[in-house]
Amino acid sequence: MKGGKPVSLIVFFLFFHYVLYSTPADTTSIIDNIYNYDFAKASERLSKLNAQDPLISEALNLEIKWWMSLERGNQNQFADFLNTLNRFEEANNNKFSEILFSTYRMRYYAISKKQYLIPFMFLKIQKQISRVDVVKLKSSSSDSYELFILYKSFLALLQNSILSDRFLPDPFHKQKLIEDIKGIVAHGSSPNRTIATYFLMKYYLDVEKDKPKAFNYLSTLHKQYPNNLIFTQLLTN
């Protein structure tokens, strides 16, 4: 792993798109509660959510447990998150759920004593993404395809900043990847713009060490989620 490129960049991976495009009115409210640190309200709304796909509720449940663990820094809370993740992984085996749960596991490795497993998780997720039917995805949902491109671009940026070159299977075009993400910030759907904004904020802050650029994106996120302690701390430090 390269020095000077903080592994903690992975910790703040934003939520995958599955719930965002399933039942928008209900799930968007829950997600807003989570990122504004109102976990009680998020859990209450989740208990009343009438989701046709159980994976929606499972993913939201994981997101609540993850952010609660970050806020409290309690080992018991992280253990509860990990136990829930293990249970969901055993119960689901479709292509999307594999990618979703792998990103959650990489979040956990990034802040635990298992950071040495992160390169293997990158390779695993890369293989999982390669099995996605991109043509079918593009024809079925422009928003989902847009986010697919967003995640691929950001993962490539992370690979270049965190892993040694032998883990990079393709030539690296940093500026092209950044421009792809900026394009989604400017012209993407509302959920994708938020995710892209977050990705660029973390990239400029932790990799490029360019605080003025990072703070432009951070200010946007802080306005959207004023009660998020992490965004507030980043803005004031």
Q: Which residues of 17-30 are buried (b: 16+ CB within 10 A; e: fewer)?
A: bbbbeebeebbeeb
Q: pTM (2 decimals)?
A: 0.74
Which range among 130-139, 140-149, 169-178, 193-202 has the greatest average pLDDT?
Answer: 193-202
Least confident range from 56-65, 116-125, 176-185, 187-196: namely: 187-196
Does residue 8 have a pLDDT over 90?
A: no
Q: How far is CA 31 from the centre of its chain?
A: 13
Ordered by start, the domain boundaries in the chain are 24-121, 133-229
* Averaged pLDDT, 144-171: 67
Say how far apart CA 131 and CA 92 lie, in whole Å.
16
Per-residue pLDDT, 53: 61
Say how far apart CA 200 and CA 150 lie, in whole Å.
11
pLDDT tens column, 103-112: 888 888 888 8
* Averaged pLDDT, 215-234: 90
Burial of 54 (0-12, 13-18, 19+ CB in 10 A): exposed
**Terminal-residue alpha carbon distance, the chain:** 27
Per-residue pLDDT, 28: 76
Per-residue pLDDT, 237: 77
**Which one has a higher pLDDT value, 58 or 222?**
222
